[in-house]
Structure 1
């Protein structure tokens, strides 16, 4: 009789929490949109006013859908405590009352860059590629399990560093944008760090099997692809009906 013990297949063993966090952060380090050529050019001061305004207009389409995707996630929670925590994210963007919140602050960024509110809110200039990326993210949060929807939000872990870089770049290279317009970026430094930490704690608590952990990592990679695709569309621009540049 053989006494040989079958080896353990460690490809199926769950990672410990340290390894899981390391793998999640590695995704952001490698694939977060701060590395996208458009963002690199933005932070080096190489964007023209028209390019920067095109980004502000199209990124607003993403910003206004953040509370929508968060509402889909909120509906999946089964305890009041978790719903209260996630509700704060919606309030951060929508505000508790008119004239408050991240969407309002983005509108003020647009005004500081010479874009009136009607132009931003009409959505008329939103590029098809941007619409597709944003729709993909909203539907992911609506249709995928709670763990994956929350894991996709972990790009927040990288947001504070990006916001600091962006503030410095705007102050140095784009002084024609009024300083008050940068309030959105300043606010997101604290909010992003807090939100990312809360979401990371949930993912680490919920992802107990290797399959769940791999799905969480894949969800974060998907979100990075959404942000990258959005910038691909903005970088490229698309011809208008007459064949000219937007």
Structure 2
């Protein structure tokens, strides 16, 4: 029996793999390296206070990445996928104290003049950043696991942006201790590995046109979440003081 004979009447044919990949990669034009804030960072135009605001707010996203990945694991019924995906949590949380991506970001904060206590307290996290990141974690908890996997495909665009960012930080912001930039050097190795596995899963599991469109929409949602973060960081949004101060 042919594929067209088994497809429900009125159902749209799925994209060919190369077209599906192209539509996913097309979301890179929306990636946050195109945001005016990141463009100013890459040009060397940010002030130390702006960089500190960025590193403090971005830390909230970094610390929530393992929660997002744990949500994917909790929704995924496949042992082989869970065995592979759990590595992401270890990469960020570290296998032991003093290791992992979160620890590296704390050291980045220290290199920029923001203490780890200040980062861990979340006292500089603006409401819109918290809202955007929490929405992403909830997306991973509530949507089918493969859609959450597809949302992680921003890692397809990350390495190129990280290379530019790392070079810009080293060139334009000489006051930053180079040792504090290790987070970005590590992601240059791990992000391509993670992206290829996530892309394989997305292509393998999203076989219908509806599933493919949902995957593209999930990736678009992730790019919008990252953009919204930078909008808030760029504005320097603050929350009005409560009754206690």
TM-score range, shorter chain: over 0.9
**Within-5 A mapping of 1:81-96:** 81-96=80-95
Secondary structure of the equivalent of 1:115? coil
Give the corresponding residue for 2:3: none
Q: Does 1:35 align with 2:43?
A: no
Aligned-residue offset at 1:68: 0.4
CA distance in structure 2 between the partners assigned to 1:194 and 1:106 by the alignment: 20
Q: Does 1:117 align with 2:116?
A: yes
RMSD: 1.4
Secondary structure of the equivalent of 2:135? helix
Paired positions, count:
233
Give the corresponding residue for 1:16: 16
Q: 2:126 touches 2:238 (CA, 8 Å); kept in 1?
A: no
Q: Which moved more, 1:232-241 or 1:56-65?
A: 232-241
CA distance in structure 1 between the partners assigned to 2:50 and 2:86 by the alignment: 34
CA distance in structure 2 between the partners assigned to 1:10 and 1:43 by the alignment: 48
* Structure 1 segments unaligned to the other structure (5+ residues): 1-8
CA distance in structure 2 between the partners assigned to 1:239 and 1:58 by the alignment: 12
CA distance in structure 2 between the partners assigned to 1:50 and 1:204 by the alignment: 42
Give the corresponding residue for 2:193: 194
Secondary structure of the equivalent of 1:46? coil
CA distance in structure 1 between the partners assigned to 2:239 and 2:23 by the alignment: 42
Aligned-residue offset at 1:79: 2.5
CA distance in structure 2 between the partners assigned to 1:15 and 1:225 by the alignment: 24
CA distance in structure 2 between the partners assigned to 1:165 and 1:91 by the alignment: 26
After superposition, the C-alpha distances for 1:87-145 in whole angstroms (9 at most, x for unaligned) are 00000000000000000000000111111110000001100010010011000000001
Please give the TM-score of this superposition, normalised by the length of structure 2: 0.92
Q: Does 1:64 align with 2:63?
A: yes
Aligned-residue offset at 1:80: 2.2
Please give the TM-score of this superposition, normalised by the length of structure 1: 0.92
